[in-house]
Amino acid sequence: MEKKTGSKKAKKTKKLSQNIRMNKNYLNGLLLVCFTAVLFFITIQKLETKRINVRVGDVAPLEIRATKDIVDKNTTEKLKREAANKVEPKYRLSPSVQMNMKNTIKEFFDRVRELQIDETNSLSQKVKLLGGDSRILLSKNEYYTALRLKPEELDAFENSINDLINQIMGAGIKEEDLEYEKENIEKIFETMDLSEGEKKLGISLITNIIQPNKFIDEEATERKKDEEISKVEPVIVKEHQVIVRKGDAIDYNTFALIKESGLLKEKEGYDKRTVIGIVILILLLQIIIFGYIYLFNKEIIDGNKLLTLIIIIISIILISEGAYNISPYIMPISAATLLIAILIDIRLSLIVNIFICSILNFILKLDGTIIAMYLIGGSIGAFMVTRQQQRYDILVDGIIIGVANLFTIISFGLIKKFELMDILVKGGYGFINGIFCAVLTIGTLPIWENLFKIVTPLKLLELSNPNQPLLKRLLLEAPGTYHHSIVVGNLSERAAETIGADPLIARVGAYYHDIGKLSRPYFFKENQLGMDNPHDKLKPSMSTLIITNHTKDGILLGEKYKLPKEIIDIIAEHHGDTAVMFFYHKAKKQDELNEVKIEDFRYKGPKPQTKEAAIIMLADSTEAAVRSIKEPTKKNIEEMIRNIIKGKLEDGQLEECDLTLKDLNIIANAFSSILIGIFHERIEYPNLDLAKEKGEL
């Protein structure tokens, strides 16, 4: 009976797998049909004749007049923008700012009066009390000045301060005028009949609390703008009015008016022979691309990369058509080559480069010099690309493409005996083309890397920004863990650099390796400043479960916030299957009669699979252990680091990654150089009690 049930389940699973594969094939087939259709319409709309076959930048073949009254939308919008820009911002005063300032001043002087009549403390003690209680930060001399004023002098002085606040804030202060007003306060006090101490006290009091109270009234300003915009009358091109004269260049505005007039020759049906010829050409070119994919990059068909590949090709073709109206030498064909080389495969990018050049050559009737430039420049750009890129590397690739374009144009110009000025102008456009392709690649790369789920340096730099939601939560909810992660990041980055691993992945992985602690931040020692340890009230087994679950919680958080797989793997692997020895020994002491299994106190793993994950494991344990040293001398720190690394090695935690013993020695030296520097700074502060820190649980 069980065998029959198992057989049924296997058949059901196999059938489901076949259905999924069949649906995927249907979707890919539909995608290819859509791709063919889009390319067909892009191609045929350029080849078919139009009523007036002109483009932006062309010279008008005849005088073109409006066939009806047309609203010149571009000119009208321009006039509206100009009218709105002329409107001066409207401001409003915030009375609460002045009120808060006065309340702060009142609290300060009230506290001064209380201390003046206090006979239990000396003057120096009163200064300390005043400095501790006051929300206004002053110097000791200024606190002395305030406390030495006689009651009637203090009252008069307070009244003077309030009068000045009324005078200054009454007219309103803008954000940009704040520094000027602070300087003006000093000048005002210089003219007052006060002692030097009182002047300094008054200046410090007001400059400490003064704030802008004059803000732009967005609603009133927008109402005024709307009012001015409503006064603008639409610009009307009257019927029979000249849109463009014969021989004049057609710009974007006149082109729009021609189209609005209905004078742009619309498609009235396609010639059958043209349609068949275009379809055959497109299919032949597609066979080159998709034949290569089927034979050498079949994983593209199974994933979502096929859709992204098609979107890149179509987007670059459309952008190139628009750029052609400016100059045929600045079409960003090489941007497609760079993107596909970075995201998918360098060889495929060469084939796509040929495909796009062929399509655009057919549509736009490109010159041989232009085709050669794009084939050579794009190919060289693809050769220069590697999968792991820094932003400036892509820009360097763009410069190399630009130089290749320049030399291609020079070579063809010399062969065809072009004029020197013509060569220089076209060569300049060719060089700009390389820069344009690099900028377009850098700008759109985040879109493609999100679609492909590929980790690039740009994505990692974005994740390392402290304003990222998870890092901000870590800072606010678990500040101890945040500080620990930053230090681990510095250690990991340095160690990765020294052994040839990826320092950026190591640093960013370290920043996020402990995000699982956000679920229960106060169960971890670094976040327990000034509070009882909740583990004192729990059984060791429960404490172990909470501690070891922070990797699982981190994985769930990483998936929720769409962290890259490489970072999530580091979160899962940074403790391997190490045992939480503190609670293991605690459990053995509490339950001496029964056997306590160490397996029950281990993390679930897996062990580190990459150098970066292993480095973070070592940095994590090392930072926590060194932090617990009572006397962090150079010798003690180095000894602790090497003991930690030796312990991980003997526990088998490093057996699934590619670290060598030589690497481990280099890593230990890298850790030492940083941690000795950190703890050398810490021991210079006499108030910091390192003895209280016991390390990470």
Residue 376 domain-assigned (yes or no): yes
Start-end of H helices in 86-174: 95-116, 123-133, 140-148, 151-170
Token pair for residue 65? 């007049």
Q: For residues 646 and 385, what is the distance between their CA atoms, to the nearest angstrom?
A: 39
Here the CATH number for the domain that contains residue 506 is 1.10.3210
Please give the pLDDT value at position 52: 66
Q: How many residues does the chain have?
A: 697
Tell me the mean pLDDT in the region 316-339.
Answer: 91
Q: Which of residues 261 and 318 earns the better pLDDT score? A: 318
The answer to whether residue 694 scores a pLDDT higher than 60 is no
- The answer to whether the peptide bond before residue 632 is cis (omega within 30 degrees of 0) is no
Asked whether residue 287 falls in the same domain as residue 316, the answer is: yes
3-state secondary structure of 602: strand
Main-chain dihedrals φ then ψ at residue 91, nearest 5 degrees: -115, 160
Please give the pLDDT value at position 616: 95
Residue 351 domain-assigned (yes or no): yes
Residue 76 domain-assigned (yes or no): no
Asked whether residue 534 falls in the same domain as residue 655, the answer is: yes
Residue 304 domain-assigned (yes or no): yes
Residue 258 domain-assigned (yes or no): no
Buried b (16+ CB within 10 A) or exposed e, 63-89: ebbbeeebebeeeeeebbeebbeebee
Token pair for residue 370? 């232009």
3-state secondary structure of 249: strand
Token pair for residue 425? 């102008």
Helix %, strand %, coil % for the chain, to 5?
70, 5, 25
The answer to whether residue 535 scores a pLDDT higher than 60 is yes
**For the residues of 483-546, what is the DSSP string, one character each?**
HHHHHHHHHHHHHHHHHTS-HHHHHHHHHHTTGGGGGSGGGSGGG-TTS--GGGGS-HHHHHHH
Domain end marker among 216, 236, 259? 216
Residue 67 domain-assigned (yes or no): no
Asked whether residue 121 falls in the same domain as residue 179, the answer is: yes
Asked whether residue 508 falls in the same domain as residue 641, the answer is: yes
Q: Is the pTM of this model over 0.75?
A: no
Main-chain dihedrals φ then ψ at residue 250, nearest 5 degrees: -95, 115
Burial bucket for residue 15 (CB in 10 Å: 0-12, 13-18, 19+) = exposed
> How many distinct structural domains can be found in the chain?
3
Torsion sign across C-alpha atoms 669, 675, 678, 684: negative
The share of the chain scoring above pLDDT 90, in percent, equals 28
Domain end marker among 196, 216, 236? 216
Q: For residues 519 and 431, what is the distance between their CA atoms, to the nearest angstrom?
A: 53
Q: For residues 410 and 695, what is the distance between their CA atoms, to the nearest angstrom?
A: 66
Residue 238 domain-assigned (yes or no): no
pLDDT band at 586 (very low <50, low <70, confident <90, very high): confident
Residue 61 domain-assigned (yes or no): no
Number of Cβ within 10 Å of residue 60's Cβ equals: 18
Angle of helix 151-170 versus helix 178-190 axis, rounded to 10 = 140
Asked whether residue 138 falls in the same domain as residue 286, the answer is: no
Domain span including residue 34: 6-47+269-454
Tell the residue number behind the tokens 């098609």, with chain if given: 310
Domain end marker among 433, 454, 475? 454
Asked whether residue 284 falls in the same domain as residue 385, the answer is: yes
Asked whether residue 429 falls in the same domain as residue 475, the answer is: no
Torsion sign across C-alpha atoms 153, 156, 159, 164: negative
Q: Which of residues 44 and 400 earns the better pLDDT score? A: 400
Asked whether residue 473 falls in the same domain as residue 591, the answer is: yes
99, 155, 213 from 203: Cα distances, Å: 19, 17, 19
Q: Highest-confidence range of 99-108, 432-441, 574-583, by mean pLDDT?
A: 432-441
| Long-range contacts, 423-427 (Cβ 8 Å, 24+) | 426/329, 426/369
List, for residues 348-362, the tens digit of each pLDDT value: 999 999 999 999 988
Asked whether residue 403 falls in the same domain as residue 526, the answer is: no
List, for residues 602-640, the tens digit of each pLDDT value: 888 899 999 999 999 999 999 888 888 888 888 889 999
- CA-CA-CA-CA dihedral for 96, 99, 105, 109, to nearest 10: -140
Q: For residues 604 and 575, what is the distance between their CA atoms, to the nearest angstrom?
A: 9
CA count, 13 A, side-chain hemisphere, 187: 7
Asked whether residue 327 falls in the same domain as residue 466, the answer is: no
Please give the pLDDT value at position 67: 66
Asked whether residue 447 falls in the same domain as residue 481, the answer is: no
Tell me the mean pLDDT in the region 420-448.
Answer: 91
The answer to whether residue 115 scores a pLDDT higher than 70 is yes
Asked whether residue 275 falls in the same domain as residue 165, the answer is: no
The answer to whether residue 409 scores a pLDDT higher than 90 is yes
How far from each other are the two terminal CA atoms of the chain, in whole angstroms? 50
